[in-house]
Amino acid sequence: MTKSIGILTAGGDSPGLNAAIRAIGKSAIRSHGWSVIGFRDGFRGLMQDRVIRLNGEALSGILTQGGTVLGTGRDKVDAIDIGGTTMDMRGVMLETFHAHNLTALVCLGGGGTQKNALKLHNVGMPVVTLPKTIDNDVYGTDRSFGFDTALDIATEAIDRLHSTAHSHHRIIVVEIMGHNAGWLTLGSGLGGGADVALIPEIPYSMEAVASAITHRKGSGSPFSIVAVAEGAVDIELASQLRELRVQRKDAKASERVRLKALGKALFAGRTSTLDIAKDLEVRTGLESRVTILGHVQRGGTPSPSDRILATTLGAAATRSIANDKFGVMIASKGDGYRSLPLDKVAGRRKTVPLDHPWIETARNLGICLGDHQ
């Protein structure tokens, strides 16, 4: 009997998803003669059995398209909202899987998707995953597809902001996505020549940032580009959040829930990019403006590098299924890949290590990272 496999995409969309879908599908059809279906809108589509047949025609012409032809969603497989009630729907998802006689399900996504896939694997569904996210924060992989394209977009934005900041002698504060990791901000800050880069891994002090800008002004550069990661926090808030994490470790279950909610609320109330710009204006005497790049970073045509990465990992996912190797994420490693057990990946996040060469390089070039170094 012909083997069948399923594919779904989950979490935020990112450039390269269609290249990966195409690679999994084409290699499955051409190298193995399998049939391929896709589930719409992530795990919800799996639960609701909303399916699209991924034959040669459906897979044709999608390599260069941004987004995901399957649609996506941010549901949790064991806590999905069903008409106002939160339910564990893994049993129903397993039924759909078996109803289609699938050999495996390939889940394309970021950190949340790796957790969901592991939860399905733990109830007996053979899964293989791929790492995609513009944030580049999936644990265990050198790169996630989507990152390179988003890095291009953020860098180009900084390039464009330079000439206008220079002409008006202004500070331009540009907010960059990346969730709680600084890869996109630090990378585009280096690539675009930002003067300040504030990332979640290094809590900032407004005093240090203002002093760096004032110093530039004094040396004949009365304009600055400040790249701020959406998850950046100042030193005071970082220390409060750290303290809460310590308290949570020893707390009873109900208290842990309360402390977690408190941490979330404090984080949500962090100094906004608009407030950073206003504060810098007061401290430096330079006019300031704000640009929030937002979802622009997730859209558009994937870069060649993301297409190659997604295609390489997609074909490797099909080989993993052919070799009956399940419960793994196909991670990028150098120009190739490696298989990592999902339980080594799920629940962990790859942030920028403080000894990373990009941090050292930024410091060498005099880019202010918001601390007092």
Q: Which residues bind ligand F6P (CB under 6 A)?
A: 12, 110, 133-135, 177-179, 230, 298
Identity of the residue, 49 or 142, whose beta carbon is nearer to ligand F6P in the bound complex:
142
- Paired tokens of 296: 């622009």
Encoded amino acid at 52, one letter: I
**How many residues in total does the chain contain?**
373
CB 112, min distance to ligand F6P, A: 9
The alpha helices in the chain, defined as continuous H runs, are: 17-32, 43-48, 56-59, 90-99, 111-122, 147-168, 183-192, 206-218, 235-250, 253-268, 273-284, 304-322, 342-345, 357-364
Smaller CB distance to ligand F6P: residue 36 or 345? 345
In the sheet with 288-292, reading across from the earlier edge strand, the strands are: 196-198, 224-229, 171-176, 288-292
| Beta-bridge partner residues of 329 | 129, 340
Q: How far is the CB of 306 from ligand F6P (least distance, A)?
A: 14
| Beta carbons of 174 and 158 less than 8 angstroms apart | yes
In the complex, which residue's CB is closest to ligand F6P?
A: 177
Distance between CA atoms of residues 78 and 119, nearest Å = 8
Residue position matching structure tokens 């870069």: 303
Q: At 4, which helix (H) or strand (E)? A: strand 4-9
- In eight-state DSSP terms, residue 234 is B
Q: How far is the CB of 330 from ligand F6P (least distance, A)?
A: 19
Whether 328 and 129 have beta carbons less than 8 Å apart is answered as yes
Active site residue 75: no
Q: Which is nearer to ligand F6P, 26 or 143 (CB)?
A: 143
Smallest separation (angstroms) from ligand F6P to the CB of 298: 5
Q: Which amino acid is at 21?
A: I
List 13, 78, 135, 137, catalytic entry: 135
Measured from the CB atom, the residue of 75 and 230 that comes closer to ligand F6P is 230
- Return the number of the residue (294 or 336) whose C-beta is nearest ligand F6P: 294
Q: Which of 169, 212, 175, 156 is nearest to 373 (CA)?
A: 212
Question: Cβ 178 to ligand F6P, closest distance in Å?
Answer: 5
Structure tokens at 366: 């005099």
Closest to ligand F6P by CB, 67 or 327: 67
Q: Are 13 and 113 in contact (CB under 8 A)?
A: no
- Smallest gap from Cβ 93 to ligand F6P, in A, equals 22
| Pairing between β-strand 4-9 and β-strand 85-87 as defined by DSSP bridges | unpaired
Residues annotated catalytic, as ranges: 135
